[in-house]
Amino acid sequence: MDGLTISQARIEYGQVEAVKGVSLSVPLGTVTALLGPSGCGKSSLLRAIAGLEPLAGGSILWQERNLAQVAVHKRHFGMMFQDGQLFPNRNVFGNVAYGLSQLPKTQRRRKVRELLETVGLAGYEDRAIDTLSGGQAQRVALARCLAPQPELLLLDEPLSALDRALREELLIVLRQIIGDLKLTVIYVTHDQDEAFSLADQIVIMDKGQVLVSNASEQIWTHPGSKIAASFLGYRPFLSPAAAKDFGIVIEDGTELGLAPGALRMGTDGQGIPARANNLRVRRGKYLAEVAWCHGNEEYRGQAEAGLEMQLSKKQAHQEVALQIYRDGTCVVPVAT
C-alpha cells in the first residue's frame, strides 16, 4: 500500500509495554489523528514512526519499505513537538534555514521567505526567537519542519500549549497548508476539536491499544465501544428499556450513549419528567444537570434548552421534561 503501514507494533520501556500490538494504515495525502488521553501510547507510537524509539516487535513500513534499519535522518520525515524546540541562538531565518544547508545561499533565502509567507510570517526573517509570541513561535517551528519537504509530517500536540483562540486560529492555518501542499500527516492530540477539524481518519487509543479507527465522519456516530464513546464525551448510557421511554428502540446487549447536547429540556408534557439542578447560561443556552428515573435506575446527565423557556437560575431544583435529540446519540455494546 502507498503510505504508512504499521503492523502489530510494540514499544516497551523496561517492564512497561507502552504500545501493545498496534496496527494501522495511513494513505498518502491524508491526515490521521491519534487521539486519546495522556499516557495512552500515542506519542510513543509517533516517536517510533520517526525512528526515535525502537520497536520491541512488529513493523513500520513507508511506501512498502521496512524502516527497522533506517536512521532518523534518512527517513525524510518532519516532526514538530508541543514546544516547537526552536534554537534560541538562531533568529527566525536561521531556524527555518536549518534543514536547507544543501541549497545555495540565494535559493536558501528565497525558500525561507516562501515558507514564512506560507505560515503567515512574511518579513520575520531577522526576528529573535525570544521576541515571538507562542503562536508565532509555533508557526516558525512549522516552517522549519516543512523546509526539507518531508514525505511524512509528524505533529505531536503542536497546539496544546496555546490558548483556545490561538489554537483555533492556527488550526485554520494548518488545515490550509496541509491541503495546499497535499501533505501526509499523523497528528497526535488529546483535543477532539483538533482531531475532527484536521483529520480524515481518527484512531482512538487507550492503554497502548487501538480502541477504534475510522473516518472522522463515521467515528462520532459509530465509536465502536463504550470506552471510546466515553472518551468522546458520550454520557450517560441508557439501557434498552430506558431508551424506549424516549421512543428509541435499541437491541438487547447494547446501550444508547448520549452526546453533549443530545438531552433537551422542555416544559411539562413535552418529554420524560426530570429534575434540573445547577442551572446556568452559556453561549445563549440554558445548561443544567438533570436526573430522571426508569424503574429503580437513576440516570444523570447534562441537558440544554433555549432561553425562551425562561427558567430560573435562582431555584436550586426545577421540574422539567426531557427529550433526546436522536442525531446526538450512538449505540454501543454493553461493556464487559
Tell me how far apart the alpha carbons of residues 97 and 120 are, in angstroms, rounded to a whole number: 17
pTM of the model: 0.88
Give, rounded to a whole angstrom, the gap between the first and last alpha carbons of the chain.
Answer: 35
| 119, three cell numbers | 505560515
The pLDDT, as a whole number, for residue 336 is 60
Q: Are 267 and 320 in contact (CB under 8 A)?
A: yes
Give the residue ranges of the chain where pLDDT is below 50.
Answer: none
B/e letters for 67-86, b = 16+ CB within 10 Å, e = fewer, are: beeeeeeebebbbbbbebeb
Domain boundaries, the chain: 3-231, 234-333
Nearest CA to 287 among 267, 299, 305, 274? 305
pLDDT tens for 47-59 read 999 999 999 999 9
The pLDDT, as a whole number, for residue 163 is 84
Q: Which residues pair with 3 in a beta bridge?
A: 27
Superfamily of chain region 3-231: P-loop containing nucleotide triphosphate hydrolases (3.40.50.300)
Peptide bond into 236 cis (omega under 30): yes
Sequence-distant (≥ 6) Cβ neighbours of residue 281 within 8 angstroms: 287, 307, 313
Among all chains, which residue has been given the C-alpha cell 433555549? Answer: 306
Q: Are 319 and 273 in contact (CB under 8 A)?
A: yes
Rg over alpha carbons for the chain, rounded to the nearest Å, is 24
Nearest CA to 224 among 244, 243, 209, 204? 204
Q: Are 9 and 55 in contact (CB under 8 A)?
A: yes
pLDDT tens for 146-203 read 999 999 999 999 888 788 888 888 888 899 999 999 999 999 999 998 999 999 999 9
